[in-house]
């Protein structure tokens, strides 16, 4: 039986991205993408609902997201789903499902300077398809109490 784990999202950032560096020096950025769905009930009443999805980007792609994205920025994210679970210091079990970005397209305004645009395009091509190496944590940071530490993650994130 074949398996497929692929996610495509187009939406806007719900808040500014959080750029951090793990102890090995690799950049990791997390942000939330809000997607909206409009529909009409059988009664004719129009409704709209929002879905908020956590996204994790690594390495140079993470740095670019931290530099060029902000709350409200429109983005296209291509990636894979990943689930994680951990135990908080007070003993509560927590879990989450997030998208590990493999490609991020910035859909909003481009940087003002032509040189910045060229640098951004070159850097985006260089990081396209990056996924964490074996042993890299999913989005853990030593200073984030609600996320597991590197040692708590167990097996490789993919």
User: How confident is the model at residue 108, as a pLDDT?
Assistant: 75
Cα–Cα distance for residue pair 91/59, rounded to 1 Å: 32
- Residues whose CB falls within 8 Å of the CB of residue 2, separated by 6 or more in sequence, listed in order: none
Q: What domains can be seen in the chain, in order of their start residue? A: 7-153 (2.40.50.140)
Query: How wide is the angle at C-alpha 35 spanned by C-alphas 34 and 36, nearest 5°?
Result: 125
Question: Could you tell me how far CA 115 lies from the centroid of its own chain?
Answer: 26
Q: What is the mean pLDDT of the chain?
A: 79
Mean pLDDT of 20-27: 96
Backbone Cα Rg of the chain: 17
In the predicted structure, residue 138 carries a pLDDT above the cut 90: no
pLDDT in tens, 51-109: 999 999 999 999 999 999 999 999 999 999 999 999 999 999 999 999 999 999 999 76
In the predicted structure, residue 127 carries a pLDDT above the cut 90: no
Q: Which helix (H) or strand (E) holds 19?
A: strand 18-21
């Amino acid at each position: 039986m074949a398996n497929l784990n692929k996610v495509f999202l187009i939406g806007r950032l719900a808040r500014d991205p959080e750029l951090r560096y793990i102890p090995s020096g690799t950049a990791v950025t997390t942000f939330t993408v809000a997607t909206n769905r409009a529909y009409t009930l059988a009664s004719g009443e129009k409704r709209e609902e929002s879905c908020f999805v956590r996204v994790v980007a690594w390495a140079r792609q993470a740095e670019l997201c931290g530099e060029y994205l902000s709350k409200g920025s429109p983005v296209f994210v291509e990636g894979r789903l990943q689930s994680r679970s951990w135990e908080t210091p007070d003993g509560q079990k927590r879990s989450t499902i997030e998208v590990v970005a493999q490609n991020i397209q910035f859909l909003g305004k481009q940087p003002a300077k032509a040189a910045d645009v060229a640098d951004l395009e070159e850097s985006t091509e260089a990081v396209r398809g990056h996924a964490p190496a074996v042993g890299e944590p999913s989005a853990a940071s030593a200073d984030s109490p609600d996320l597991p530490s590197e040692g708590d993650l167990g097996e490789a994130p993919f």
